[in-house]
Chain A
C-alpha cells in the first residue's frame, strides 16, 4: 500500500532562514512519481515539482531545492532564504505507475516570520 509521511506538523522560521520539509514515502512499486504542492491561505493547491523514481538527481529551482533519496525513501524539500510569502501548508504526494490518484501526506504548515 502507498503511504506518505510528513512528520513535521508545523515549522516556524524567521525570514531569510533556510528550512527543510521532510517527506518519507512507502510503495511496493518500482515505478512511481513524487510531487510537492503548496497550499497558501487562499486554499488552492499549487504544483511545485514532479519526480519519477528513476531520476534521483536533485533539483533546484530558484530558492527551492529537492533531495530525492531512494535508499531512505525520502523526498525532502528545502527553501533557501525563506520569505514571508513562503508561508503555507506544503504537501508531499505519491502516485504509482498505472494508479494515477495521488496519495498525500498530512502536510507541513510553514510560517515565515518577518
Chain B
C-alpha cells in the first residue's frame, strides 16, 4: 500500500512568513510523529499524535510551532514568524498503534529553507 507522503517536498520562504507542512500517514495508522532533521544530524522529535490529540508535544522548540490532526489522519505542522534557524528537513512518520514496539515508517520529508 501507499507509504507516508509529505507535501510540499521543498518549501522556500522568507524570514517572518508563515508556513504549513502536510503529512499523510499510512492508511489505518493511529499514531503520527513529526521530527526535524538539521544538516548532519539525526532526526529530533517534535510532536506525537495518538488519533486526533497530541499525546506528546515536548519536542516543539517554542510557541511558533504548532501541529494539528483534526480527523485523526492527515496532519499539518504550522510554523509562524519563521526564522533562518527553522531551516531543516521536517520528517513525518506513522505507526500502527503508537505503542513502543511499533515500527515508525517515515515519509520523504519537506525541506524548508528560510531566507
Contacts and interface: CB of A to CB of B under 8 A. Distances in A.
A32 B101 CA distance: 9
A102 B104 contact: yes
A100 B107 contact: no
Interface range, A side: 20 to 34
Interface in A67-107: 91, 93, 95-107
A42 B35 CA distance: 17
B100 to A, nearest CB: 5
A39 B45 CA distance: 17
B65 interface: no
A93 B93 CA distance: 14
A100 B43 contact: no
Contacts of B104: 47, 102
Nearest to A96: B100
A44 B43 contact: no
A104 B103 CA distance: 14
Nearest to A106: B42
Interface string A26-70: 000001110101000011111100101000000000000000000
Q: Which of B59, B100, B106, B107 has the most CB of A within 10 A?
A: B100
Interface of A: 4, 31-33, 35, 37, 42-47, 50, 52, 91, 93, 95-107
The 9 closest A-B pairs by CB, nearest first: A104-B42, A45-B106, A101-B45, A44-B108, A97-B100, A104-B43, A106-B42, A100-B100, A107-B42
